[in-house]
Structure formats: C-alpha cells, structure tokens
Amino acid sequence: MESALGPAYARAWAQQVVIGELGERTVVEALDAGEPPKAVWAAVWRTLELPASER
C-alpha cells in the first residue's frame, strides 16, 4: 500500500476506508480480526485497481 499511496496516506487509508469485500471493514479491522494478509491485500489491490504487477 505504501508504494501505491505513499507511507502517510497508506496508514490513514488502511484505518478509514471500508471495503465491502472485507465484510464492510477497514484493512486494519480485517487484519485485527484475523483475516489472512494475502486476502486483505487482494481486496485492497482490487479496490485500488492497481496494475497486475502490484499483485
């Protein structure tokens, strides 16, 4: 996330943006709930519409 959004914004984004694919949770909430980091990253990747090279 830091490479796509920058370090400061990535942290804020992870705490504030709710992603439906993560059960209507933020990245931080999903990780705290025990979601696998790879699954969370996949949801972030799709949400941000990042290029395939960033998978």
pLDDT for the residue numbered 14: 97
pLDDT for the residue numbered 54: 78
> What are 1-53's pLDDT values in tens digits?
998 899 999 999 999 999 999 999 999 999 999 999 999 999 999 999 998 88
Does the pTM exceed 0.85?
yes
Closest CA relative to residue 40, chosen from 8, 18, 53:
18
Q: Is residue 14 part of a domain?
A: yes
Q: How many domains does one find in the chain?
A: 1
Q: Is residue 34 part of a domain?
A: yes
Q: Tell me which residue range forms the domain holding 35.
A: 2-49
55 pLDDT more than 80 = no
Burial class (CB in 10 A: 0-12, 13-18, 19+), 49: exposed
Q: Is residue 32 part of a domain?
A: yes
